């Protein structure tokens, strides 16, 4: 049940914050590494979530 709540919160967060993130990402005066910052946090979050699950949770 924990995974479903987390998935729901992630989808809700993406829905709420996607316009802000897209405006920040596509801003013409922005730094070249902005997309990499977003992907870094996505990878870090997925790594963190996979470490919290035990071997019997699969």
Is the pLDDT at 58 greater than 60? The verdict is: no
pTM over 0.75: no
Rounded distance, CA 27 to CA 33, Å?
12
- pLDDT category, 55, cuts 50, 70, 90? low
Taking residues 39-44, report their average pLDDT.
83
- pLDDT category, 8, cuts 50, 70, 90? confident
Rounded distance, CA 15 to CA 58, Å?
27
Q: Which of 14, 16, 19 is nearest to 41 (CA)?
A: 14
| 10-39 confidence digits (pLDDT tens) | 788 788 888 887 888 788 887 888 778 878
Taking residues 43-52, report their average pLDDT.
76
């Amino acid at each position: 049940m924990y995974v479903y709540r987390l998935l729901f919160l992630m989808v809700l967060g993406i829905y709420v914050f996607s316009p802000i993130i897209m405006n920040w990402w596509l801003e013409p005066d922005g730094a070249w590494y902005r997309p990499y910052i977003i992907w870094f946090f996505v990878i870090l979050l997925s790594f963190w979530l996979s470490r919290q699950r035990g071997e019997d949770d699969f």
